[in-house]
Amino acid sequence: MKRNALLAAAGVMALGLGAYEWPLAPASHAAPPPREAVPQSLSQVQLTFAPIVKRVAPAVVNVYTRSVVQAPANPFFNDPFFRQFFGGGGLSRERVQRSLGSGVIVRADGTILTNNHVVQDAQDVVVALSDKREFKAKVVLADPRTDLAVLKIDTKGESLPTLQFADSDRVQVGDLVLAVGDPFGVGQTVTMGIVSALARTQVSASDYQFFIQTDAAINPGNSGGALVTSDGKLAGINSSIVSNSGGSVGIGFAIPSNMAKRILDGSGSGGVKLAWFGADGQAVNSDIAHSLGLPKPGGVLLKSVYPGGPAAKAGLKVGDVVLAIDGFSVDDMQSLNYRIATHNAGDAPSLKVSTDGHARDVAVKLTLPPDIPRQITTVGGRNPLTGARVENLSPAAALDLQLEPTATGVAIVSPGRSIAANQGFQPGDIIRSVNGAAIRNVGDLNRALTQANGHWDMIIDRNGQRMTLSVDG
C-alpha cells in the first residue's frame, strides 16, 4: 500500500504505470487480474489537430508592406529637445521601412482580412500564399477604429481556399484554439492554447476593441493572422500581445470574428458606416452601484445623451444604467460600443436598462451619426498649431476620432510633421479656447490664432482631461 500511495503522490498514474502491479511477494497461483485494454490504432493513442491545420493553413497568408519615410540625415534631429529649438528642420533622407504581418483569406476571389496596423501608411502591400506565390495587394478598406483592414489580390479567376467565420459570441473560456500566422518572419507557424478570457476591453486605445484573450503563442508577425476554433473556423483576427520582452508570454488578443465580418460586409460600399447609439457613459464600479441601489457592479452609467439621437428617442436619459444588449452584459463603453457596432443602422437591439433601480427592456433603433460639413483645414501662419489638420466636430466626426458622441468644438485630425507635432498635439485633441476666446468652429480658431500677437494661452481637452499650454514665439 505504501508503494501504491507513493506512485499516486508522484502523479504518474496517468503515464501508464498504473496499468502494472509490481509484486511484493512471490506470485500465487491465483488467476491474474484482467489486463486493461490496449490501444488498437494510431487514432486511439494520438490526439492531433493535423487534419484541421491541413485545411486551415492554405487560407492564412503572409503580408509584407513597404513604406518610404523621411529620416533625419543628422541624428541630432532625433532629439525632441533639439527639434524644439530648430523646428524639426535640417537635411533629411528617404528610408525604406518594411513590416511583416499575416492575413486570412475570407473569400475565394482573393479577399483578405488583416489588421489595419499591418498596412497603415504602406505604399506597397504584397501577399504571399502558403504555396509561396506572391501577389501585389490593393487595400480596399483600412479602418483604424477597429484596427481591421480588407485587402484584395487578383487571382485571375482562381478560387482560393478560405476560412469560414465562427460565431464569436458562442466562443467560451476554456475552448481550445489555434493561432496561425508568420511570427518573426520564420514562416507559417501554428500554436495551440485555450481561450483565456472574453470581452477584454482595457488593452487598446480604440473604443471598439473587445478582445478574445488566448494563451496560444502570438508573436510579432502574427498580427492579422487567424485564431481558429477546434473545428477549423475563424474565431478572431490576432491583433496584439502583452509583453515586456516583445515575445509571447501567453497573453494574446484577437478581434472577434463577428466584428471582422461586420467590417468585411461593409467594405464593398467604400467605407464602413458604424451604427450610432447617441450616448456616452462610464463603467459602474462598486461605489456607483451602491449609490444607485444596484445589487452589484456592472453596466454603463449614461453621463451624456445626444438630443434627438437614438438613445434619446428611446427614452434613455442621463443617470440610466445600460446593463445588457441583446442579452449580453456590458461593463464599460468599449463593450457597449462593440455591441452597437456589430449592428447595422436601422437595427433595433434590445437593451436591459436600470432606471432608479428598476430594470426594464428598451428597444433602441440605431441610426448613422449625423454629420455637418467637415471643413477640414490645415492651420497656416506662425503659431503653435501650424501644420495641423483640424475640423469642426459633429457626431460623425467624433465617432471617426473616437471621441464622446456629444463632443463639440474643433478637434485635431492630425498634427502632421510640423510645429504642431513638435508641440505635442495629438489626433483627437479638442481646442477649447485660445487666449480666453471660446473655440466653437474652425473660423473661431483661425481668428484667435491670428490675433494672438505672439503669445498663445490654450486650453485643450485630451481623453477627458483638461490641459493648458502657454507658448511665446
| Catalytic positions | 117, 147, 223
Residue among 254, 62, 227, 301 nearest 146 (CA): 254
Q: Are 105 and 163 in contact (CB under 8 A)?
A: yes
86: cell is 530648430
Residue among 190, 165, 159, 252 nearest 52 (CA): 190
Would you call 186 helix, strand, or coil by DSSP? coil
Would you call 421 helix, strand, or coil by DSSP? helix
Q: Are 221 and 95 in contact (CB under 8 A)?
A: no
Determine the residue type at 440: R
Sequence-distant (≥ 6) Cβ neighbours of residue 48 within 8 angstroms: none
* Alpha-carbon dihedral 411, 413, 418, 422, rounded to 10 degrees: 60
Residue among 364, 279, 361, 387 nearest 314 (CA): 364
Please report which residue ranges of 359-417 form alpha helices under DSSP H: 395-400
Q: Are 90 and 146 in contact (CB under 8 A)?
A: no
Q: How far apart are CA 53 and CA 230, in angstroms?
A: 10
Sequence-distant (≥ 6) Cβ neighbours of residue 19 within 8 angstroms: 35, 36
